Amino acid sequence: MADVTLNRSAAVEAARGDAQGKAANPASPRKLSRGMLCSLPVLLTLLLGFVAPLATVAAYAFATPRSFDVFRSFTLENFETIFDPANTVWTSFVWSLALATATVVLLAIIAYPIAWGLARVFGRWAGFVSVLFVFPLFVSENVRLYGWSLFFIKNGVLDGALKLIGMAGPDVLYTPGATLFGMVYVYLPFMLFPMVLGLAMVPKELVEAARDLGASRLMIWREIELPLAMPGIMIGMLLTFVLAVGAVAESKILGGQSVIVATHDIEIAFTYAQNWPLGSALALILTVIVGVLSLVAISRLDLDRILGRR
Amino acid sequence: MMTAAAHPLARAQASAPPILQLVGVRKTFGDFAAVERIDLDIRDGEFLTIVGPSGSGKTTLLRMLAGMEAPSEGEISLRGQRLNDVPSNRRPTCLVFQSLALFPHKSVGENIEFPLKVKKIAPAARKARALELLRMVRLPESYYGKNVMKCSGGERQRVALARALAYDPEVLFFDEPLSALDYKLRKAMEKELKDLHRESGKTFIYITHSLEEAMVMSDRIGVMQAGRLVQVGTPEEIYTRPSTKFVSEFMGEVNVFEAARENGVWRIEGIEAPIRLALPPSMSGADKAAVVVRPEFMRFVDAPGGADNCLSGVVFNEYSLGSRIQYQVRVGEKTFLLELSRANARKGEGDAALIGWDSADAIVVGT
């Protein structure tokens, strides 16, 4: 008997609990969840500081050229100007994309062995080497680039030193090559560290296991190390590409405007030319190109794995 | 396998040339010797298990055999050929890691096929072999395309095994691969591994810290302590004739006590009553010894003289093991462990008890 009453009261308890649960549920959507509430400041900042300016730029891109009547006129004239083959604006885009691509490829080749060393070989020296690579970041980019221009300039460090031993220095400053050099130099850490992260993610045991199963070094690299380190490498490539496409100081200081990159065109449009709509259209095109590339790359990445959530 | 002397097959195996031979193998890391001069012949086709507590050097020994670590001294040879300088990818051996080391970016099928891909075998033949191996490790063929990270612990175990078998090694090494599994699955895998050993006819060298695991699977067991191989023998030999106190203690719960001889009479330290000891010939004349008595060889006796050795004490703990019952009996300052079947268990906590054992059931080893 006692058992039965006990069971019954338990059932009543359960039913009551259920009812409370149901009563509590409809109330919850009205209140913001705690996560939403906490992220609100960040969301607002992003909205005001990132989305709003971007929307303004997008709006300006469709305004009458050489005017400031944004939101009052709609025209595709700015884009026509840009895509008109008679104008040479498109060449700056080609230069920007070509220089950025070359930077990414060169950096991948240069950074991989260093990253491999940092992740696998250097051991307790890895920290020191990392600091050496980070250190230049404490000095302004422009200052460093002017330093390099002193290095490459006629009668500068390189040219002067070569003349001392009776050789003519190469004429490298103010060429697209110098621009490329500057980009590779400035963005090396941004390729290197994600790459180290990627390589560090490859468990040593997997490499040992592959070797134990008969694989050669090349096979291990192709089948195990590279695919497993790929997320890190991809992040490095994406980061450096985005930075290099948006770079302007290298082409100005080291390239000496021997080639005009897209960002330089945008700057001119907004400043000397006072043609904000054209500048906005240029910026919009560049943003779309970079945005699409980034989305494609990120969609192929497993961010959870990189952040160690899995 | 029975004792080597009794079993004709065992004798034939013992006289066959060893597949792996270790002569004076030593490994040091700085000043620390992880493995100390090990001599060992591993027979073709045997299941040898190396047991030892963590830090006893068993993993280092295995890594040397697999070619991932070079011995500091000594020689390892396979069928008479020096193996020391052969890199692991050229050795006909394969290691199943404790972590299993499955390739997370490859499917079950691609994992198994990896060693075949290395050998440049055509894709169709690779797939056929992989499916065959899936059957062999009792996984459904539908697992071929499955993401290896989506497999359960037991399934991954089987994939790792199939991948190792795909390499077709002469010797397979196992570094505690079952340690991450739950008890029930581990028990089942132990038996499957033993079946697989028989089916494949390959030499298995297995490492574990669980002697229980070793007992179930092995033809021979080697016990390691602080870098040394202290005893090698069949499970029966290790169980019934442990060579040292360490080995006997490693075998599970046992009664171990130090005994000393004074004026020709043996006494357990701290207990007045004299005991009778049957010293092995190698220890004749010794005045100190460690006595090992298994809990199942101890019993309650009705009166003094009911066993070769009798001690009186008090029961202070009783544990049920299911079909059997364990008692802790305190005699003086010492605690003795008895394990009896339920039928013979007739004492309760707090009862005075006379416990005893026969000299023949006691193992006497050096201290």
Q: Give, for B21, the enclosing helix (H) or strand (E).
A: strand B20-29
Inter-chain residue contact B95 with A212, CB threshold 8 Å: yes
Nearest-neighbour CA in chain B from A310: distance (Å): 10
Rounded distance, CA A13 to CA B80, Å? 76
- Of 1.10.3720.10, 2.102.10.10, 3.30.70.2740, 1.10.620.20, the CATH number of A90-204+231-306 is 1.10.3720.10
- B295 touches B326 (CB < 8 A): yes
Arithmetic mean of pLDDT, B190-196: 91
**Which of these, A277, A190, A265, A202, lies nearest to A234 by C-alpha position?**
A190
Mean pLDDT lowest for which of A67-76, A284-293, B32-41, B83-92?
A67-76
Buried b (16+ CB within 10 A) or exposed e, A91-121: ebbebbbebbebbbebbbeebbebbbbbbbe
**What is the pLDDT at residue B352?**
87
pLDDT digit string, tens, across residues B295-342: 989 989 888 888 889 999 999 888 888 888 899 999 988 899 999 888
**Residue A206: closest C-alpha in chain B:** B101
Which residues of B are less than 8 Å from A213 in CB distance? 89, 94, 114-115, 118, 163-164, 167
**Residue A310: closest C-alpha in chain B:** B149
**What is the pLDDT at residue B4?**
41
Q: What are the φ and ψ backbone dihedral angles of B313, each rounded to 5 degrees?
A: -155, -165
Q: What are the φ and ψ backbone dihedral angles of B116, each rounded to 5 degrees?
A: -75, -35
Inter-chain residue contact A203 with B114, CB threshold 8 Å: no
Q: Which residues pair with B174 in a beta bridge?
A: B96, B206
Mutation pick from A208, A213, A217, A221 vs chain B, by most beta carbons of B within 10 Å, is A213
Nearest-neighbour CA in chain A from B319: distance (Å): 31
Which residues of B are less than 8 Å from A208 in CB distance? 68, 88, 97, 101
Sheet order of strands, B299-300 included: B299-300, B352-357, B309-320, B324-331, B334-341
Which residues of A are less than 8 Å from B93 in CB distance? 212
Is the model's pLDDT at A246 over the cut of 50? yes
**What is the pLDDT at residue B9?**
47
**What is the pLDDT at residue A162?**
86
pLDDT digit string, tens, across residues B232-247: 999 999 988 888 888 8
pLDDT digit string, tens, across residues A46-62: 999 999 999 999 999 99
**What is the pLDDT at residue B7?**
47
Mean pLDDT lowest for which of A88-97, A293-302, B152-161?
A293-302
Is the model's pLDDT at B110 over the cut of 80? yes
Is the model's pLDDT at B18 over the cut of 80? yes
- pTM of the full structure: 0.78
Q: What are the φ and ψ backbone dihedral angles of B358, each rounded to 5 degrees?
A: -90, 145
Which residues of A are less than 8 Å from B103 in CB distance? 206, 209-210, 223-224
- For residue B357, give both structure tokens: 């054992």
Rounded distance, CA B229 to CA B224, Å? 4
Contact A304/B at CB under 8 A: no
DSSP designation for B107:
B
Nearest-neighbour CA in chain A from B119: distance (Å): 8
